[in-house]
Structure 1
Amino acid sequence: MAYDAMYRRCCRYRGSIVRLNCRGRVHVGRVTRVTRSHVWIRPVGGPRGLGYGFGFGFGGFGIPFALGAITGIALASVFFW
């Protein structure tokens, strides 16, 4: 996916829970911040379905991912039904 298209999609999903594919790994979390170079997600669905990553150990915005390293992003609700 083109870099600009990925940036626009991440901006559109801000505040939503997404499934992010990044270099062979899958991450599920809420998009908290988007810049031209990174997208931050706050992980959800920790052990036994409990959320984690509410600012402790992940910084205020969550975990940053470089837009160039993302191979796919989709709304997570599609995968949970």
Structure 2
Amino acid sequence: MCRETVCRWWSAYTAGGVGALPGDRPGRPLGSGRLLSDEQAERVQVLLRTTTPEMADIAAPLWTRRAVRELIERDCGVTLAVRTVGLYLPR
């Protein structure tokens, strides 16, 4: 958290209690800025659960972030950074 944000929240809390604190989530809406559509992400998840890298002609023994990146490129035509692939995997 930014120091200014914490100070603003503290001032609001001391002046009006919990009710004075902002309740809405600031920033971009959840899901905005994602490069894969929900359908593409679901398809990748299905492929990860039902195939191996060998079955998908990917030279990797296990589904690593790099292997998943290659799968996404082949299947969806979208090039992602390895770090971005890591963010998609827990979803």
TM-score clears 0.5: no
Relative to its length, the structure with more helix (as a share) is 2
Specify the structure having the higher radius of gyration (Cα): 2
TM-score, structure 2 as length reference: 0.26
TM-score, structure 1 as length reference: 0.28
Which gives a bigger RCO, structure 1 or 2 (Cα 8 Å, sep 6+)?
Answer: 1
